[in-house]
Amino acid sequence: MKRKTKLIHGGIPFDPHTGAVSVPIYQVSTYKQDDIGVHKGYEYSRTGNPTRHALETYIADLEEGARGFAFSSGMAATHAVLSLLNSGDHIILTDDVYGGTYRIITKVLARLGIEATFADTTSIEEIEGAVRPHTKALFVETPTNPLLKVTDLAVVSSWAKARQLLFIVDNTFNTPYWQTPIALGADIVLHSATKYIGGHSDVVAGLAVVSDERLGEELHFVQNATGAVLGPQDSWLIMRGLKTLGLRMEAHEENARAIVAYLSGHPAVRRIYYPGLASHPQHELAKRQARGFGGMISFDVGSGAKASEVIKRLKYFTLAESLGAVESLISVPAKMTHASIPRERREQLGITDGLLRISVGIEDGEDLVEDLKQSLREE
């Protein structure tokens, strides 16, 4: 089945009880038992709910994994996955991971005795250098946010396998439409479904997919024990969003290419970060490991003052956190999504005050380029 077909026919494409072609919203908390312990597969909706189950089966199918899980946010999914670690364990993470991931690791899990090292995971030597005797897991985000650095999933996963490390990939930016990390050897894939998967800026949700049944049992235990499950209404909205994921990702990409072509060589733009650019350090890798380059672009206009001037003049790019929805958004990572990372560390990474990140929407690409043209004019 090709990808666009799988988005329509994958998972549980209709309600097994009524044949409804849209799985209904099972707004229910508990289920009648015919005898003690005799039921139709559902006992209590924290443990399992048919609408959530349909979404979980759907995302497992799309990510080519064994079992899927839906959570009340991307961070809840991340938290559940990281709860597979024990006190005293050490984890290696991509150095410019999502700010919330950095925060949960350094401010919450650190208190529970889980140690972490942040490394440039685009380099296997850097990862190797971060290993300690008690290293148990490796967490990679690719492409990263906001610098769009790309990690070689096949190389890193075989490296992790040889050391029996749990290999976790945050696939939020590329989505299963462009990239399937489990097929490249990942053990667990994570998503903030709030972004491209939901796609309409109307739901906060998280997803996780595991590569085998044993991990599935472990993660279901944590999901049920900690309880940050996605409700049936939101599960339904995420499924509704997923149906058009292919069309949307193609449209985001087409517009992103037009914008990158315009920004390249613009005198006000000091640097552009986009994996689709031939000058991107991991361009060849991005081409090989993903089916598209995505709709996220970062570019540096030199200073915080210039960045705010540009933003003020834009008409179609809304100043907002988040990404991956139908409308174009712009943000200043240093002051918004990545504000929880200390300034010194941000600057080391290249997340300067003049760095703008755009999430390209699915408006007409010509309008988006025109808008950038008028906002980037030199006064």
Ligand X SMILES: *Cc1c(COP(=O)(O)O)cnc(C)c1O
Is 46 among the residues known to form the active site? yes
Min CB(266)–ligand X separation in Å: 26
Q: Judged by CB under 6 A, does residue 145 bind ligand X?
A: yes
Q: Which alpha helices (H) appear in the chain, and where do they start and end?
A: 3-9, 50-62, 74-82, 99-103, 124-130, 153-162, 175-178, 213-226, 232-243, 245-263, 283-289, 304-313, 343-349, 365-375
Q: Which is nearer to ligand X, 73 or 157 (CB)?
A: 73
**Span interacting with ligand X, options 94-102, 270-278, 302-310, 371-379, rule CB under 6 A:** 94-102
- Tell me which of 195, 248, 257, 346 is the catalytic residue: 195
Q: Which is nearer to ligand X, 93 or 310 (CB)?
A: 93
Q: Is 294 left (phi over 0), alpha (psi -120 to 50) or beta?
A: left
Residues 6+ apart with CB under 8 A from 331: 319, 320, 321, 323, 337, 356, 357, 358, 359
* Nearer to ligand X among residue 101 and residue 175 (C-beta): 101
SS3 content of the chain, % helix, strand, coil (to 5): 40, 15, 45
Among 136, 195, 248, 357, binds ligand X (CB under 6 A): 195
Q: Given 3, 4, 15, 46, which residue is catalytic? A: 46
Q: Quick one: 268 or 326, whose CB is closer to ligand X?
A: 326
Sign, Cα dihedral of 264, 268, 273, 274:
negative
Q: How far is the CB of 303 from ligand X (least distance, A)?
A: 25
**Contact predicate 179/200, CB 8 Å:** no
> Which residue's CB is nearer to ligand X, number 198 or number 365?
198
Q: Which of residues 54-93 bind ligand X (CB under 6 A)?
A: 73-75
206 binds ligand X (CB under 6 A): yes
Integer Cα distance of 151 and 149 in angstroms: 7
- Token couple for 7: 């988005």
- Binding part of the chain for ligand X, among 11-19, 192-200, 212-220, 278-286 by CB under 6 A, reads 192-200
Whether 98 is catalytic is yes
Interaction between residue 96 and ligand X (CB under 6 A): no
Q: Least distance (Å) from ligand X to the CB of residue 2? A: 26
Pair of tokens at residue 91: 């984890």
CB of 334 to ligand X, least distance (A): 16
**Shortest separation between residue 9's beta carbon and ligand X, angstroms:** 27
Q: Is 357 in the site for ligand X (CB under 6 A)?
A: no
- Residue of the chain from 26, 58, 98, 274 that contacts ligand X (CB under 6 A): 98
C-alpha dihedral (137, 336, 171, 289), degrees to nearest 10: -100
State the DSSP string of 153-189: HHHHHHHHHHTT-EEEEE-TTTHHHH--GGGGT-SEE
Collapsed DSSP state (helix, strand, coil) of residue 24: coil
- Note whether 201 binds ligand X by CB under 6 A: no
Binding-residue total with ligand X (CB under 6 A): 15
Interacting residue with ligand X among 116, 204, 209, 230 (CB under 6 A)? 204
Active-site position among 26, 58, 98, 102: 98
Catalytic site positions: 46, 98, 170, 195
Which residues contribute to the site for ligand X (CB under 6 A)?
73-75, 98, 100-101, 141, 145, 170, 172, 192, 194-195, 204, 206
